[in-house]
Amino acid sequence: MRVVARDVLRAVRERDAYANLVLPGLLRERKLSGRDAALATELTYGACRSQGLLDAVIADCAGRPVTEIDGALLDVLRLGVYQLLRTRIGAHAAVDTSVALVRSEFGGGKAGFVNAVLRRAAERTSEEWVDRLAPADPLGHLAFEYAHPTWIAQAFADALGARAGELRDVLAADDARPAVHLVARPGEISAEELALVTGGEEGRWSPYAVYLDGGDPAKLEPVREGMAAVQDEGSQLVALALTRAPLDGPDGGRWLDLCAGPGGKTALLGAIADIDGFHVDAVEPAEHRADLVRQATRSMPVTVHVADGRDTGLTPGYDRILVDAPCTGLGALRRRPEARWRRRPSDVRDLVTLQRELLTAAWDLLRPGGVVVYSTCSPHLPETVSVVADIARRTGATQLDTRDLLPGVPDTGDGPGAQLWPHRHGTDAMFLAALRKP
């Protein structure tokens, strides 16, 4: 279990791999299941999420910055300190198993160093380490306590606005293991049937959502047979908002997903379009991601185009267009455990430029009276309300009250855009806004 977790951390550090892509393959390859797989998953994702806090403790105990510690040792130290501070695993077991990992690969000298660092780390509780090492200012203290870079905590506080007092709840929700959400394919299976078959629970907001308590969804028969897929309920709500938005004039059934890869939202749109006799064009610039879209939309009325969304060459006149734009992903950090430590504030400027260009391209492809829904899996204001306000100002777009497109979903903000939150809705922190062309 710990060897698997160590190997994933190593892949993340050495190859910039994604933990949530590497781990499932290793679990299958090494035939781990049940409680062993659950522990390996908890250690892997927990150590990735908590990296900033763990590194501060390691540096204090080692008397040197983590940049001066051999990477292979650092992986084991992060696993060991995570077990000491954030699990119920006994200190003795956490230290001994970590030391054994190092001794088996590097011998006694380096094992002694790891032993010394972990024994110092074990001298304090997690709360005592936070009190000792966290910044004094309230926001910095919260960010450290819940293992977030300060700039991301600040971005969440800004997006919460007058309700910035909820910041602790947001950070805590972001730091917890998220539930698995399934989407029932319209026309194939209902959410009620999917919940019965899988032992899950019907979702609160999307009529197609089912919540699972755990396990490997890839092993479920409805998922294997293409009747259901893994998809956050917030992403389902984005696709549904596009289908619900009121048009001026009839819906001619020409829909476009301008940023389609890897295909989750496209597949939901395609299934709904199939029921109504409509058609979806899907644009994705990367061939390997376009393949994922094709696989997700097999037997649906979906045509995949490998093209840059800013210059597709498609004929204008679409009734509905989804722009689920590339973004910082700050709203989905709980599902991508290492992402919070990879993103930089400097990433935002180039992404905002791309987001504006994609939304402008969508606007040019939209028919008069048609609607474009813009969404990001980030609540960061420069990527959300600022992008939408800029386009609305330049084009004269009518901003629809997007909250009306999420019937029954409370607490989505002051409008006209809508913001979902993990601590309020149990979804990723998706932002969405709907613009109609005069």
Numbered residues of the known binding site for S-adenosyl-L-methionine: 259-265, 284, 308, 324
Residue list for the binding site? 259-265, 284, 308, 324
Task: Give the separation between CA 144 and CA 138, rounded to whole angstroms.
Answer: 10
Tokens of 436: 């109609």
Burial class (CB in 10 A: 0-12, 13-18, 19+), 53: buried
Following DSSP, what letter does each residue of 212-247 receive, concatenated?
A: E-SS-GGGSHHHHTTSEEE--HHHHHHHHHHHHSPP
> What number of residues does the chain have?
438
Is 61 a catalytic site residue? no
Burial class (CB in 10 A: 0-12, 13-18, 19+), 150: middle
Tokens of 194: 């999917």
Give the distance from CA 202 to its chain's centroid.
21
Give whole-number Cα distances, 42 to 5, 14, 26, 91, 197, in Å.
9, 21, 14, 17, 26
Q: Is the peptide bond before 135 cis (omega within 30 degrees of 0)?
A: no
Q: Is residue 327 within 8 Å of residue 262, measured between CB atoms?
A: no
Tokens of 429: 């922190």
Q: Is residue 20 within 8 Å of residue 309, measured between CB atoms?
A: no
Which residues are part of the catalytic machinery? 377
